[in-house]
Chains A and B, each alone.
Chain A
Amino acid sequence: MMNIVVLAKLVPDLVEELTIDASGAALDLTFARWIINELFDDHAIEQGILLKERSGGTVTVIAPDLEGADDVLFTAAAKGADRLIKVRSDFSAANNHAVARAFSAIIKGFQPDLILTGVQAHNDLDGSAGPLLAESLGLPYVGYVSGVALADGKFMVKKEYPGGLIAEMEVTLPAVFGIQAAEQPPRYVAVSKVRQAMKTSSIEEMDASDLDLSGAPEIERMFQPEAAAHAEMLEGTPEEVSAKLVALFKELGVL
């Protein structure tokens, strides 16, 4: 019986305008709506459920206690997750180093065979959470995974490389996987099923130890994209333009 743990990260919803806070080095998240990291962590949940449906096992979904976490967890239960956990701490100000440490301490206690999480998120400012989590747990990590399978006692993953290359790897469990895409798009669950899950399943709450934010780069300034200086157009025949270009490169010291 495979013990599958999915770390479901939440991210600020980009449908709302983002503003920079008074410090000028972080987002103002006072009015942010937190949603599942749809492009990746939603796929991690789907992949966990698919694996369970195919090979048996249990799926535990664990999420930070941000507004929106209950929705994410109950929706996961409606899809087939067995255990729902919400971890309490001030995650809205946490970086991935802190998230990885906080969750690894809790996940370790579950003795999972595999841990799935989204390969990246739009608010990854200090690297993605997956490898940091693996490091903290002392487990191997494979990222950009787009398929997992248990066959003849071997655990195989598909990893995507740029340029359309896909590698098949045999991995010794336990391990952490950063999910790029589940084998099929995350399923839609009817609201009636989610409402039912709210009645029949419960969310366990656990406390994270104090958040340790160390190790991440310090952010000096965060700002909206600023209009850069205008491009200078080089005019003339192709020969003239290339001569100007070469002169320019020399002037800039790259030739």
Chain B
Amino acid sequence: MNATEVAERSFEAKVLEAVPDGERLRLCLECGNCSGICPFGYLMLYPPSRMIAMMRADRINKVLETDTIWMCVSCYACTAVCPSKIPVTPGLMTSIKEELLLVGNVPAELQNALANSQRYGNPLGESPRKRADWTMGIQPEVKVMAKHKQPVDVLWFVGDYASYHPRVQSATKALARVLNALGVDFGILGAEENSDGDSQRLAGERGLFEMLAEKNGRAFSKYQFNKIITSDPHAYNALKNEYPALGISYPLQHYTEFLAERIDQIKLLLKRQISARVTYHDPCYLGRANGVFDPPRELLCAIPGVELAEMTHNHSNSLCCGGGGGGMWLDGFQWEKAHVRLSDWRVREAINTGAEVLAVACPYEPPRFEDAAKTMPGADKLKVRDIAELLAEAMDV
């Protein structure tokens, strides 16, 4: 075997070992379903099925010379439709991105987000000391664990965009007010919280993911709490499916699951009517990847006046907002290749339902969908609201 052959074979071995059911890769039928359903498959030189064919022909090095794999937003659509149940997204796509990263074939935008995550513990490049700044003005005060020094019932893993992004902070504050209204005893890690690292992992930076996970694991172990809730489906995915293998394991819920369990208590507090047709976008990492479809809908339907309308693509068939797997940090790169944003397609579907509100449950989405709505004809009346914002409004808190 020459050196190239060794590299080819080690890539196949890597994919087979990347995830517990990686071996299933051998069962590929070359049906092409994965490439067909991929939202950006038409722009990839080597969409998943073709990449598998290249791997079988020992020609994966050709794939490593191209950059269109960076169109992959790790949305799990391919994985969901594969008849052979091959873990295409976490196995194949993530492994190939890891290889690209090691050979230095990484778009500059993505490098920035990764370097920021290394240095500051968040991809936005914000000061870690300011991670809890959003809590200012919330009453009763949000407890920061390092200061509170007492056990809490619930540790809220807030996440990067929910902590720092000015638009998303409004949803974060709304959730804090809702939790307060319900009398939940909760705390946050503040400056001790680091990025969950999941999108960095799916963008090929496994080492960075582990570094961030270890930091979060150390912070968790300092405090006493009964469970973790999170606003961020990406953090949810990491904490649920990836952290346990690193020895970090706690009972976990997405905030929509946590609140849906308290639906009777919430209903008593929903004083205000929100008369609107509302459509709900299933975030990839809450819905398709983790099967949480009903709790967000239950919460929406509990609000008096809300009429829920489904988009054409819903539940496990939902369309990605374009932010996953590093997409959040590849907007310029992907625009150059596609001249369309995945969020544009989603907003168009939302308009077609006749909805006045596009409800979301992931911190990546408000800025992505609001940006798309700015340029999409017919979207001038469409409001993008996090479910927590709608609940806070209906509770008048």
Contact = CB atoms under 8 A, between A and B. Distances in A.
Interface in A186-216: 187-188, 190-195
B144 to A, nearest CB: 18
A15 B125 contact: yes
A15 B120 contact: yes
Given A15-B126, A16-B127, A16-B129, A187 B207 contact: no
Interface residues of B, number: 22
Given A15-B127, A16-B127, A191 B120 contact: no
A185 B108 contact: yes
B193 interface: no
Given A15-B120, A35-B119, A195-B207, A188 B125 contact: no
Interface string A166-192: 000000000000000000010110111
Nearest to A16: B127
Nearest to A187: B104
B115 interface: yes
B101 A188 contact: yes
A188 B211 contact: no
Given A15-B120, A35-B119, A185-B108, A191 B207 contact: yes
Contacts of B120: 15
A157 B106 CA distance: 28
A187 B115 CA distance: 11
A190 B102 CA distance: 7
B208 A191 contact: yes
Contacts of A15: 120, 125-127
Contacts of B210: 191
Nearest to A195: B207
Contacts of A193: 102, 207
Nearest to B115: A188
B135 interface: no
B207 A190 contact: yes
Contacts of B102: 190, 193
A198 to B, nearest CB: 11
Q: Interface residue tally of chain A, by bracket? A: 10 to 19
B297 interface: no
A14 to B, nearest CB: 10
Nearest to B108: A185
Contact of A188 (B114, B119, B127, B206): B114
Contacts of B125: 15
Nearest to B114: A188
B169 interface: no
A16 B129 CA distance: 8
B314 interface: no
B317 interface: no
B205 interface: yes
Contacts of B129: 16
Interface string B88-120: 000000000000011010101001001100111
B211 A191 contact: yes
Contacts of B118: 191
B36 to A, nearest CB: 32
Contacts of A187: 104
B246 to A, nearest CB: 14
Given A17-B127, A187-B104, A191-B208, 14 more contacts: A15-B120, A15-B127, A185-B108, A188-B101, A188-B115, A190-B102, A190-B206, A190-B208, A191-B118, A191-B205, A191-B207, A191-B211, A193-B102, A193-B207
Interface of B: 101-102, 104, 106, 108, 111, 114-115, 118-120, 125-127, 129, 204-208, 210-211
30 contacts: A15-B120, A15-B125, A15-B126, A15-B127, A16-B127, A16-B129, A17-B127, A35-B119, A187-B104, A188-B101, A188-B104, A188-B106, A188-B114, A188-B115, A190-B101, A190-B102, A190-B205, A190-B206, A190-B207, A190-B208, A191-B205, A191-B208, A191-B210, A191-B211, A192-B206, A192-B207, A193-B102, A194-B207, A195-B207, A195-B211
Interface of A: 15-17, 35, 185, 187-188, 190-195
